[in-house]
Amino acid sequence: MFERFLSAMPGGRRRTVYRPPTARRMVAAMLGAALTALWLVPLPAAAQAQAQAKQAQEQVLTWTAGNSVSEYVSAPTTATAGPATLVFENSTETGNTMGMSHTLTFDVSKPGYNHDVDVDILANPFDSNGGRYEVQVDLTPGTYYYFCKINGHTMSGELVVTDDGGGDTTAPQVSGNVSGKQDPDGNYVGSATVTVSANDSESGVDSVEYEIDDTGFQPYSGPVTVDDPGEHSVQYRATDAAGNVSQVGSVSFTVVESAPEDTTAPDVSASVSGDRNTDGAYVGSATVTVSASDSESGVATVEYALGGASYTQYSGPVTVNQPGEHTVSYRATDTAGNTSTPKTVTFTVAEPAPEDTTAPQTSATVSGNQDTDGNYVESATVTVSAQDGGSGVDSVEYALDGQPFAAYSGPVTVNQPGEHTVQYRATDTAGNTSTPKTVTFTVVEPAPEDTTAPQVSASVSGDQDADGNYVGAATVTVSASDSESGVATVEYALDGASYTQYSGPVTVNQPGEHTVQYRATDTAGNTSTPKTVTFTVAEPAPEDTTAPQTSATVSGKQDTDGNYVESATVTVSAQDAQSGLADIEYSVDGDPYALYTGPIVVNQLGEHTVSYRATDTAGNTSTPKSVTFTVAEPAPEDSCPDSDTRDTVIVGDEDTGVDNANTGDGCTINDLIAEDATYANHGAFVSHVNRVTNELMAADVISGKEKGRIMRAAGRSDIGR
């Protein structure tokens, strides 16, 4: 086994080399793991001082990886400037049961981060080191950005390095979590387990304490189980090595008696997700997510097996990135010991697409209250969007009025009066940055005080019978506008009841005559005079059990064989005389059905079949129908339909012996010489032949020698004399 370390290179950079691990570093790695553990057991003061002295002498920062491609299992967040040992372990002990490779790579180019440490460790549970590596570095104050550079992996994070020194005056962070089987009312069945966690990024946690139901604090050494039925409260607190004590936190819960014996196995299901190609294969990797539920004793464990391997504990979505066909078996066991019958999902993983070299697509919109000149009153909000169909968007930035670009984390509001320009750009995870774009707008002061009430109107919609009654239900939609201060509230009252807040269309389904009053108030407090709409709701017609009627036509330019030249347009129609049409769907050449929104243009050459069907609002779907047709290429255009097809070029009565070649558009050399055309004189004909033969030579249709033979024949001819 070897470990890696950094040695100095010109320019302040570091290079990574390997050397055998020493006993001192192995001890330091174990000490670092103990110091970064989440659950802390109080140490005696002397032992704690010794550990702190050891840590000050040599920092050990540990990263671990497992089956996830989206996050490291554990990673440090802070460190102190100076020498440090970086440990990266991707092994079966850290949860990697799939043999997946990961890297720990420190970025040396990303703006805003330290670039003086060059670490790039590739680890696999089955490599010669068993997936565990160490590297020696010198850290400087600032922030380092690290990530896994394997394609499809999105693991990343930041390490903040501070200067050594300064006293710790900040108390630890402490939290509590209650776990256990719960009934539908949220009570814990049989028992509840309280887990307390504490962390301190400065001097470190010294002790954690808890108490149950105000019975007095005592040392916390691990999860606390409460099994007495009734309501309970657990308080907790933590103290760091500098003596700072956290505020007391608490969790409350209720424990109830256990339910009767469970003899039913859990329900278990699985889904496969990921980017898919046109063949349905998952590109680069596929993620299998297993779900299990048990309404009685509760799920105890979920297991899965990849291919023919043994079952292993399922702790989260399983990512498979080896190309080929795969089968994942899965099962679940409840706390009563009932195990479900194993189920399987089968899928195929394909090689990932080529490297992404295309920058993201970006766009921006400006929103806010506008005056009649299009200016934004008081403020304008700029919303930036970015998409990347390759490696995915990594970051979005914006710059206001020529200032430096800053990270975009949400809509940007500008409230300073005047004209403004916002630039924006995006970078994908492959490092491609889009060309900056801009939006320009003007912010103006608000208008004078508003004393005019809003404009308000209402409309009634729904299916109507021949008498104008609304069948089954009527929907009243109220609209309000205010060109000054803007609408604040809209209210309505049904059939003489009190006014209530209007938040969307109001549906009335009680048969009989109804009256809806409505009014609106603007932000200046002006309320409109109430208005009314009156309508009648009638009983709905009998249930619809008949599917819609459908038909389709094919249109486009056709050749003599009835084929459609270059493209064919399929137009689908559907009608439903009862509940009404809900949607129309179509399928081209056996593809999955898609929603039909307008005529379908098919321009791929060959024979095609378009299937179509429709569904009404009652859920009745018509039997699929189809139309079949052929799309053909257009016939080539012939520039010389009455072409001179003699074997050789003949000028006047003289046979030049030159091959009368087709020049590519249906015309021969004799067609281009056009000896039967009208010319002003013989010289004009000779000049015409000279121009034609020059063009034919340039196109490599004739040689210079053949041009000479044609020109001599033209000069000796009587054409144009």
- Inter-residue contact 412 to 423 (CB < 8 Å): no
In the DSSP assignment, the letter for residue 447 is P
**Who wins on pLDDT, 28 or 67?**
67
Token digits of residue 521: 């108030």
Q: Burial level of 243, CB count in 10 A (0-12/13-18/19+)?
A: exposed
Comparing CA positions, the residue from 188, 162, 173, 289 lying closest to residue 239 is 173
Helix (H) or strand (E) holding 494: strand 487-494
From residue 242, how far is each of 49, 58, 164 by CA, in Å? 11, 20, 15
Encode pLDDT of 42-62 as tens digits: 444 444 444 444 444 469 999
Token digits of residue 657: 């012996």
The DSSP string of 542-554 is SPP--PPEEEEEE
**Who wins on pLDDT, 450 or 424?**
424
Q: In what order do the strands lie in the sheet with 418-428?
A: 376-377, 437-444, 418-428, 393-400, 406-407
Q: In what order do the strands lie in the sheet with 506-508?
A: 455-461, 474-481, 506-508
Q: Cβ atoms within 10 A of the Cβ of 249, count?
A: 17
Per-residue pLDDT, 354: 78
Encode pLDDT of 110-160 as tens digits: 888 999 999 999 999 999 999 999 999 999 989 999 999 999 999 999 999
Per-residue pLDDT, 401: 96
List phi, psi (to 5°) of 645: -110, 25
Please name the residue that has the structure tokens 């000490």.
31
Encoded amino acid at 85, one letter: T
* CA atoms of 476 and 532, how far apart (whole Å): 11
Pairing state of beta strands 14-19 and 3-8?
antiparallel
Encoded amino acid at 549, one letter: Q
Domains in the chain, start-ordered, CATH in brackets? Answer: 3-162 (2.60.40.420), 173-256 (2.60.40.10), 267-350 (2.60.40.10), 361-444 (2.60.40.10), 455-538 (2.60.40.10), 549-632 (2.60.40.10), 648-716 (no CATH)
Per-residue pLDDT, 26: 36
Q: Burial level of 127, CB count in 10 A (0-12/13-18/19+)?
A: middle
Range of 7-11, 21-25, 344-348, 682-686 with top mean pLDDT: 344-348
Helix or strand or coil: residue 524?
Answer: coil
Split at pLDDT 50, 70, 90, the class of 35 is: very low
From residue 596, how far is each of 406, 418, 487, 610 by CA, in Å? 43, 47, 38, 12
Helix (H) or strand (E) holding 400: strand 393-400
Per-residue pLDDT, 625: 96
Total count of residues recorded for the chain: 721
Per-residue pLDDT, 560: 85
Per-residue pLDDT, 289: 97
Encode pLDDT of 559-575 as tens digits: 889 999 999 999 999 99
- Inter-residue contact 45 to 149 (CB < 8 Å): no
* CA atoms of 626 and 554, how far apart (whole Å): 11
**Who wins on pLDDT, 568 or 241?**
568
- Inter-residue contact 702 to 693 (CB < 8 Å): yes
Please name the residue that has the structure tokens 């209210």.
491
Q: Cβ atoms within 10 A of the Cβ of 273, count?
A: 13
> What percent of the chain clears pLDDT 90, i.e. is strictly above it?
75
Q: Is the pTM of the predicted complex or chain greater than 0.85?
A: no
* CA atoms of 648 and 668, how far apart (whole Å): 10
Q: Chain-centre distance of CA 327, in angstroms?
A: 26
User: Does the pLDDT of residue 535 top 60, yes or no?
Assistant: yes
Angle between helices 23-35 and 45-57 (to 10 degrees): 120
Per-residue pLDDT, 8: 37
Q: Cβ atoms within 10 A of the Cβ of 231, count?
A: 10
Token digits of residue 156: 């990343």
Torsion 115-119-122-125 (CA) sign:
negative
Comparing CA positions, the residue from 659, 707, 655, 702 lying closest to residue 686 is 707
From residue 8, how far is each of 16, 52, 138, 443 by CA, in Å? 9, 28, 10, 55
* CA atoms of 331 and 344, how far apart (whole Å): 9
* CA atoms of 668 and 140, how far apart (whole Å): 80
Pairing state of beta strands 470-471 and 531-538?
parallel
List phi, psi (to 5°) of 560: -65, -20
Q: How large is the greatest C-alpha to C-alpha distance in the chain, in angstroms?
A: 129
Per-residue pLDDT, 166: 52
Encode pLDDT of 58-101 as tens digits: 699 999 999 999 999 999 999 988 899 999 999 999 999 999 99
Split at pLDDT 50, 70, 90, the class of 262 is: confident
- Inter-residue contact 600 to 586 (CB < 8 Å): yes
Per-residue pLDDT, 167: 63
* CA atoms of 443 and 248, how far apart (whole Å): 49
